[in-house]
């Protein structure tokens, strides 16, 4: 019985930005727990590069989550092919750094529209499909430690990821009547394409020493939280923002050298 709480057998999941990094780890984790997984990504080459791991090109949709009509079509194609949609992982994102004084409106819009508006659009159409299916569902939004902190040089990213918290709470309340739980995962410092090389720097060492777990995260560290929030074990959990950061957010000092 306990094992069944964490089984995703029979569930259909859509993972945005699932063609690399954290998104790929999340998607493979759901697949490993038994789910049928469809991923999205904008980069054709990256999409082709992961086809074998997800069962072929039919399990990958080229998608810009900022495009409402494309999002609507993507969700509809998943439901048409598999008859249902049970889980949405809103992971698609990007990153543009600049000081507030120098940041262009384009830099602002590209980041906020991808992380926040894209999550809204995907949730809107996924929730419609879940309501129509009549069996509830799970929406998991990927936030960040910058949902909690105010980083200089990244006001666009911090604003978008903080917005994810409000979006998660509001959707959790609105969609609860339909048996849909909405939660967020807040990753800490992870080794990804964006942070490549940073762990070996002085800054990377400071991050490690502020993390009670004593190390940087690896994308696979997020899988347990993702499976939990995607499955029946979390049926009475909604509106929660779960840090998966090795304790970084609660530490007030560095670990001893």
Going through 53-113 in order, the beta strands assigned E by DSSP cover: 60-62, 87-90
State CA 43 to chain mean position distance: 17
Longest dimension (CA), the chain: 56
Across the beta sheet with 180-187, the strand order is 60-62, 36-41, 12-15, 87-90, 137-142, 180-187, 241-244
- What are the backbone dihedrals phi and psi of residue 77, each rounded to the nearest 5 degrees, phi first? -70, -35
Give me the catalytic one of 146, 157, 190, 248: 157
Instruction: Quote the CA–CA distance of 134 and 137 in Å, as a whole number.
Output: 9
10 Å CB burial of residue 136 (0-12, 13-18, 19+) is middle
CA nearest neighbour of 61 among 82, 37, 84 = 37
Structure token pair of residue 189: 């410092």
> Does the annotation count 190 as an active-site position?
no
CA nearest neighbour of 207 among 151, 128, 126, 133 = 151
The three-state secondary structure class of 18 is coil
The three-state secondary structure class of 23 is helix
Q: Which residues are catalytic, by number?
A: 157
């Amino acid at each position: 019985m306990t094992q069944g709480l964490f089984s995703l057998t029979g569930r259909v999941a859509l993972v945005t930005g699932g063609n690399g990094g954290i998104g790929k780890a999340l998607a493979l984790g759901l697949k490993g727990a038994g789910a049928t997984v469809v991923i999205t990504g904008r980069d054709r080459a990256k999409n082709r590069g992961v086809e074998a791991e997800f069962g072929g090109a039919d399990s990958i949709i080229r998608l810009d989550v900022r495009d409402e009509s494309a999002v609507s079509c993507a969700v509809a194609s998943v439901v048409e092919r598999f008859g249902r949609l049970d889980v949405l992982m809103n992971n698609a994102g990007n990153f543009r750094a600049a000081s507030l004084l120098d940041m262009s409106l384009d830099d602002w819009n590209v980041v906020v529209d991808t992380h926040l508006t894209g999550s809204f659009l995907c949730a809107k159409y996924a929730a419609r499909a879940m309501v129509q299916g009549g069996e509830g569902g799970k929406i998991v939004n990927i936030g960040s430690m910058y949902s909690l902190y105010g980083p200089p040089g990244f006001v666009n990213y911090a604003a978008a990821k903080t917005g994810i918290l409000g979006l998660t709470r509001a959707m959790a309340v609105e969609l609860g009547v339909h048996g849909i739980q909405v939660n967020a995962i807040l990753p800490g410092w992870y080794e990804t394409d964006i942070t490549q090389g940073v762990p070996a720097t002085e800054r990377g060492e400071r991050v490690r020493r502020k993390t009670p777990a004593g190390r940087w995260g690896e994308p696979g560290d997020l899988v347990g939280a993702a499976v939990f929030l995607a499955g029946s074990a979390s049926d009475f959990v909604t509106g929660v923002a779960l840090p998966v950061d090795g304790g970084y957010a609660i530490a007030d000092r560095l670990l001893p050298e």
